[in-house]
Amino acid sequence: MEVENQTFSMNKQKKVSRKLKRLQFMIERDTGTSCNQTATQNLVICNAGLVNGLSQEILYEHFSKHGSVIDIRLVPGKSYCFVSFSNVDSAINAYNEFNGKLKICQDNKPMYLLYIQVLPEVNSLYMWDKLPLGLILCDDFITSDEESTLLELCNFNTELIGIMKNRLVKHFGYEFRYDINNVDKTKPLNETIPCECNFLWKRLSDSDVKSGFKDFNPDQLTVNHYSPGQGIPHHIDTHSAFEDPIICLSLGSPVVMEFKNQDKHVCVLLPRRSLLIMSEESRYAWSHGIVPRKFDVIKNDSVTGYTSLKRGTRVSFTFRKILNGECKCNYKEKCDSGNNKQALENSVASKLEKLHVHEIYQNIAHHFSDTRHKPWPNVLKFIQSLDMGSIVIDVGCGNGKYLGNKDIYDIGCDYSSQLVSICKFRGYEVCVADCLKIPLRDDIADAALSIAVIHHLANEMRRLEALKEIVRVLKVGGKALIYVWAHEQIKNEEKSSYLKQDRKNRKKIDISDNSPSNIETIILPDGCVSFPVHTNRKEFKAQDVLVPWKLKDENKSTFLRYYHVFDEDELVTMCKKLSNVRIETSYYDQGNVCVILEKIQ
Amino acid sequence: MKLLTHNMLTSKCIRGVNVGYPLSINASDVRVADVDFNPDFISRMIPKIDWPVLYNAVERLGHVEDLPKETPVNYESNEDFLKKAHHALLEVEIIHGELVCPESGRKFPINNGIPNMLLNEDEI
C-alpha cells in the first residue's frame, strides 16, 4: 500500500489508457452503467475488489483522506468496486492522487480509476440494516456505574494485556472447552456467575423485549477481554452445549460484530453498554465473529455515509444456559446434537499433531535434549528389573534418556528425526517411526516404554490406538511402562517436581491459577481449533492445552506443544478397554499418571 | 542399523500389506564395529530371532563368513558359534541404503545408520 509519485512516461501513459479502455468496457458490460469522461463524485476502482483481498476498511482508510465517503460498494466475486464522495472535488483529488499509483491490493499492483455517472445497483457483500432473524439489540441496557461494577468483577492481569496476541478469557459456572467446543456438564466450576449480574435478568424481564426471555436464567458466563486489534473467529455456539438464547453484554468499547449465513453477511455495531440477544435463527444458523483490527468502518444513515470508529478495550459478558438433553432446533445441518461429537476428528487430530507436536520437536530437539538428562528413578527401576537379553522398545524415545542399557537390547523410535539423530550420535539403536505405526513384528518385545508420549495424541481414539500398538509388539508375558502427564499437579498436598522447578513454588504458596486463559486458535485445512495456552509451572486449567517451549536463542522463539493431560483414572480406564492386558500396577509419580501393563494373551 | 534390529522390522503398517516381513536390504555402506561379546546375552537372544532371516541378511551384505545356515544343537555351550552369531547380530551395521517392503515394494531409506520408517498419509 504505497503511492508512487513519479510521473508517467509517454509509453506508460499509452499503456495505461489502453488498460483503462479494457476495464471500462468490462464494467459497462457487467453493470449496464456508463463511465464518464468528465469528473463526477463517483469512482470505480477498476482492478481492485473483493477477489483480490480489498476490504472496506482499507478503502475507507485511503479515500476518506480526500473527503467524506458516502458509499462503498464491494461486489462479491469481482475485481472492481465503487466509492462515492459527497462532492466532485473530493473525487477529483482522490483520482489525481491514486490513479495508476496506489497499491492497495494483495497483488501489489497499482489501482486504476474511472468516473461513473451513478453507482450501479449491486448486491453488496455487507448488509447493515437487516438484522438476522431472532437477533435483538438493546442499546444503553446498563448505566455507566453498572458497567464499572461489572468490569471490576473480573480483574484481568493488566501486565498480560498488551503483550498477549490473543484475547483473554475467563469462565464462570462451567468451563467452555475450546478443544471440543463444548462444556463438561459433569464438572461445574467453583466460581458461579457473580450475583452482581442478577439485576440484568430482572431488567430484561421488565423491558418490552419479547416475553420469551422472561425466564432466562443463565448458569454459564464467559468473559472475553479484547484489546484493540483482537477478534474472535467466526463460530456458532455449539447447539448441544447451550439453550436458546445466548446473551452478550458489551462493555468498555463498541465493536462491529459480523454475522454470516450462507452468502449473507450482516455487520452489526454493538455499542458500549448494549445487550445483544441471539435467539432462534440468529443463535442456531448464523455464525458470528469479530474481525481482528484496530478500527471498524461503520455505515450510518446520516449523509456522511461511512465513518470509522477506533476500537478501545472491550470486555464482553456472554451469558448462556447449559442445555440438558438433546438440542431441539430446526437447523439440523448446523446441529451437532445426537452425534455426540466430543472428540476431534482423526484428520483434524493428525494435522494438529503434525503442526503442534512433530514439527515443534524438530525445531526444539537440541535445546530439548540439553534439558533431558536425568532419568526418572521409577522408570530406571522398571528397566533394571528386566532379564538379561530382554528386547525392549522405547516408543517415543526422545533424546535416548532411557536407551543404551547394559545386558538388554533396546531399540528407540521417535517421530522426530532430529531427536533420533541425537540418539544415534550417542551410539543407540534407533529408527524414525510413528507411535501409531510401530514398524516391528507382533509379539517380539519383552518390554516396552512409552514415557511422556501418548499425551501428545489429540483424541482418545488415537491414544487408545497407541496403547494397542505397544501391546501388539509385546510378547505374551511382556510388560509395558506408560507415563503420561497428569492433569492434577498436586497430590496429597505435595507439589510435583514440575511445579517445584519454579523456585517460588518450593515455598508453601498457592500455585492455583485464577488468571484468565490466553486462547490460541490454530488454523487447520479443515477448520480451526482453539486451546488455552498453559502457564508453565502452574496447575493445568484444562485437559487439552498448548504448552509453550521457549528456546534460548536470540529471538527467544516460543513453540506451542499440544498436550492432553490425564485425569487420575483416565489412563487405567483406557487400559481396561484392552482385552489382552492385565494392569499390574498404576501410580502417580511426580505429576505423571503411570501404569505397568502385562500382555496376557 | 544392526541386523538384530532388521530381524524385527516390518512394513506391515502400510495399508494393504499383510506381513511385510522380512524387509529386503539394499546397502551402499556397511561397516563392522567392535561390540563387547557376552555369550550369555547372545544365547538368550538366539531363540527370539528368526535365524533364516538373519542368515539371508548377512549373506546379502557379503558378511556371511562361516555362519551356519541353521542354529546348532546345544548352541548355548558353543562359544565359537555364539561369537559368529554375535558378529552377525551386533557388529555388522548398515550405514546407508534402503529397506524394501516385500509386498508393496515401498522403500524405506537408511541414512547415517537410521532407518526412516514413517509412512505417508495415503499409506495408512
CATH number for the domain spanning A201: value is: 2.60.120.1520
A391 in the same domain as A333 = no
- Determine, for residues B8 and A389 on separate chains, whether the beta-carbon distance falls below 8 Å: no
Grid cell 432473524 is found at: A133
A363 in the same domain as A327 = no
Residue A336 confidence (pLDDT) above 50:
yes
Q: What ranges do the domains of chain B cover?
A: 3-117
Q: Residue A589 forms beta bridges with which residues?
A: A592
A437 in the same domain as A359 = yes
pLDDT at A210: 73
* A464 to A391, A474, A581: CA distances (angstroms): 23, 16, 13
Instruction: Provide the number of structural domains found in chain A.
Output: 3
A90 in the same domain as A104 = yes
pLDDT at A340: 42
Give the least confident one: A168-172, A280-284, A456-460. A168-172
Give the least confident one: A21-35, A193-207, A216-230, B101-115. A21-35
Confidence of residue B106 (pLDDT cuts 50, 70, 90): very high
Give the least confident one: A77-86, A327-336, A410-419. A327-336
CATH of the domain at A94: 3.30.70.330
A139 in the same domain as A229 = yes
Query: Which of B9, B115, B119 is the closest to A434 by Cβ?
Result: B119
A141 in the same domain as A20 = no
Q: How far apart are CA B22 and CA A598, in angstroms?
A: 27
Residue B48 confidence (pLDDT) above 80:
yes
> Looking at beta carbons, which residues of chain B come within 8 Å of A391?
8, 45, 48
- Determine, for residues B45 and A438 on separate chains, whether the beta-carbon distance falls below 8 Å: no
The mean pLDDT value for A355-360 works out to 93
Q: Which letter, b or e, does each residue of A21-39 get, where b requires 16 or more Cβ atoms within 10 Å of its Cβ?
A: eebbeebbeebebebeeee
- Determine, for residues A389 and B117 on separate chains, whether the beta-carbon distance falls below 8 Å: no
The mean pLDDT value for A275-300 works out to 88
Which residue would you say has higher pLDDT here, A329 or B10? B10
- How is residue A34 annotated by DSSP? -
pLDDT at A106: 66
A227 in the same domain as A288 = yes
pLDDT tens by residue, B11-47: 999 999 999 999 999 999 999 999 999 999 999 999 9
pLDDT > 90: percent of chain A? 46
pLDDT at A279: 93
Question: Quick check: is A404 in a domain?
Answer: yes
The mean pLDDT value for A558-568 works out to 92
Q: How far apart are CA A534 and CA A552, in angstroms?
A: 19
C-alpha cell of residue A357 = 507436536
* A154 contacts: CB under 8 Å, gap ≥ 6: A170, A223, A225, A315, A516
Amino acid at B67: L
**Pairing status of strand A445-451 against strand A474-485:** parallel
Question: Quick check: is A124 in a domain?
Answer: no
Prediction ipTM score:
0.97
Last residue of a domain, one of A313, A341, A369: A341
Residue to substitute from B40, B44, B100, B124, interface A, most A β-carbons within 10 A: B44
Residue A507 confidence (pLDDT) above 60:
no
DSSP A56-83: HHHHHHHHGGGS-EEEEEE-TT-S-EEE
Q: Which letter, b or e, does each residue of A321-355 get, where b requires 16 or more Cβ atoms within 10 Å of its Cβ?
A: bebeeebebebeeebbbeeeeeebeeebbbbbbee
Look up the domain containing A60 and give its range: 10-116
Confidence of residue A24 (pLDDT cuts 50, 70, 90): confident
Query: Which of A429, A434, A440 is the closest to B10 by Cβ?
Result: A440
Q: Residue B68 forms beta bridges with which residues?
A: none
pLDDT at A301: 61
Q: How far apart are CA A59 and CA A45, in angstroms?
A: 10
pLDDT at B79: 95
A234 in the same domain as A102 = no
Helix (H/G/I), strand (E/B), else coil: B15: coil
For A203, phi then psi, to 5°, come to -65, -40
CA-only gyration radius of chain A, Å: 30
Question: Quick check: is A196 in a domain?
Answer: yes
- Determine, for residues A433 and B117 on separate chains, whether the beta-carbon distance falls below 8 Å: yes
> Looking at beta carbons, which residues of chain B come within 8 Å of A420?
114
A111 in the same domain as A35 = yes
pLDDT at A3: 41
Tally: H helices and E strands in chain A: 14, 32
Q: Which fold has domain B3-117?
A: N-terminal domain of TfIIb (2.20.25)
A466 in the same domain as A428 = yes
Which residue would you say has higher pLDDT here, A11 or A44? A44
Last residue of a domain, one of A341, A359, A385: A341
Identify the sign of the CA torsion A257, A259, A260, A263. negative
Grid cell 484475547 is found at: A167
Question: A1: buried, middle or exposed (CB in 10 Å: 19+, 13-18, 0-12)?
Answer: exposed
Question: Quick check: is A126 in a domain?
Answer: no
Q: How far apart are CA A433 and CA A428, in angstroms?
A: 15
- Strand segments, DSSP code E, in A362-473 are 391-395, 409-414, 429-432, 445-451
CATH of the domain at A418: 3.40.50.150
A369 in the same domain as A326 = no
pLDDT at A5: 45
C-alpha cell of residue A53 = 483481498
> Looking at beta carbons, which residues of chain B come within 8 Å of A357?
none
- Determine, for residues A387 and B1 on separate chains, whether the beta-carbon distance falls below 8 Å: no
Question: Quick check: is A387 in a domain?
Answer: yes
- Determine, for residues A421 and B4 on separate chains, whether the beta-carbon distance falls below 8 Å: no
pLDDT at B45: 96
Chain B's closest residue to A420, CA to CA, is: B114
- Strand segments, DSSP code E, in A454-497 are 474-485, 490-491, 494-495
A425 in the same domain as A292 = no
Last residue of a domain, one of A319, A341, A363: A341
Residue A583 confidence (pLDDT) above 70:
yes
C-alpha cell of residue A248 = 452478550
Helix (H/G/I), strand (E/B), else coil: A562: strand
pLDDT at A157: 63
Question: Quick check: is A400 in a domain?
Answer: yes
